[in-house]
């Protein structure tokens, strides 16, 4: 079957279950999601973090001049990419005028431009650009996700917000079951280690520090999972040369060499 462009979940149907509005609700809703489509549907209804709900709506109500007149997504952003990806990409959170505007991870901002161009060079994306959720982008062998699903003020979620949002990431990783995780930045690294520890992976104590090029293999019974650290694709890092295209390419090639990134038969369908 030919892969088809993925669309994030739309507004929930009128008879949908109540939106998660507390940490306990998130735990229950994430655990109950039987597949990625159901998980995406319920993620987009979440309102468990009042500060983030207020911020995503305020950003949509008063956008920069270049985006005025556009309808913002202004809801939590689900993961995007291959249902059975060998590689997962874990970032921080949607950007206020990127994913919060377009409704898709790493879409409509400079971070997405930098990342998706690299994925295309690596043979993991169908095109080198990520402009909106209807642009036809297909990811093969890779899935984008994040520890926090709403755009946070100053790109800085609180520890409580990360903990509340953690079950969404945990359920998505359990459903995708990647072999390699490329972790973009220190926040994502720390959040992911917490999630993996809660899932029973053998996370060392003290927890290994984040660094670009750091490689960590975790085990859970007979299973293994490799984490690869990579500086975040933020403009601060890419404009200053802290992260270059060549550095990101090297991380992605390493991820592919470790057994991830092979095309699946259901690329980018959820």
Q: Torsions phi, psi of 226, nearest 5?
A: -105, 130
pLDDT in tens, 130-148: 999 999 999 999 999 999 9
Dist CA 186 CA 269 (whole Å): 29
DSSP state of 222: T
Strands of the sheet with 223-230, listed across from one edge: 80-81, 142-145, 87-90, 180-184, 223-230, 215-220
Nearest to 70 by CA among 164, 118, 133, 156: 133
Assess contact for 116 and 138: CB atoms under 8 A: no
Query: What average pLDDT does the segment 156-169 reach?
Result: 96
Model pLDDT for residues 73-113, shown as the tens digit of each residue: 999 999 999 999 999 999 999 999 999 999 999 999 999 99
Task: Tell me the pTM.
Answer: 0.89
């Amino acid at each position: 079957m030919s892969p088809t462009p993925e669309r994030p979940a739309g507004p929930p149907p009128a008879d949908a279950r109540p939106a998660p509005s507390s940490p306990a609700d998130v735990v229950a809703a994430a655990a109950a999601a039987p597949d990625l489509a159901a998980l995406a549907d319920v993620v987009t209804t979440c309102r468990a973090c009042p500060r983030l709900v207020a911020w995503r709506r305020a950003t949509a109500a008063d956008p920069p001049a270049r985006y005025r007149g556009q309808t913002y997504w202004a809801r939590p952003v689900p993961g995007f990419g291959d249902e059975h990806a060998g590689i997962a990409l874990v970032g921080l959170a949607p950007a206020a005028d990127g994913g919060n505007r377009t409704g898709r991870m790493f879409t409509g901002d400079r971070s997405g431009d930098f990342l998706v161009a690299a994925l295309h060079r690596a043979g993991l994306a169908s095109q080198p650009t990520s402009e909106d959720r209807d642009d036809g982008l297909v990811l093969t062998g890779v899935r984008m996700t994040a520890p926090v699903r709403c755009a946070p003020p100053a790109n800085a979620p609180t520890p409580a917000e990360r903990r509340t949002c953690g079950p969404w990431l945990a359920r998505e990783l359990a459903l995708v079951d990647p072999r390699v995780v490329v972790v973009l930045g220190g926040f994502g690294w720390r959040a992911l280690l917490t999630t993996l520890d809660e899932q029973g992976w053998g996370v060392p104590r003290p927890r290994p520090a984040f660094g670009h090029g750091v490689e960590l293999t975790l085990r859970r019974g007979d299973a293994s999972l490799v984490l690869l650290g990579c500086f975040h694709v933020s403009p601060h890092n890419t404009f200053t040369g802290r992260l270059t295209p060549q550095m990101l390419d090297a991380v992605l090639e390493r991820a592919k060499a470790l057994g991830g990134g092979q095309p699946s038969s259901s690329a980018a369908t959820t």
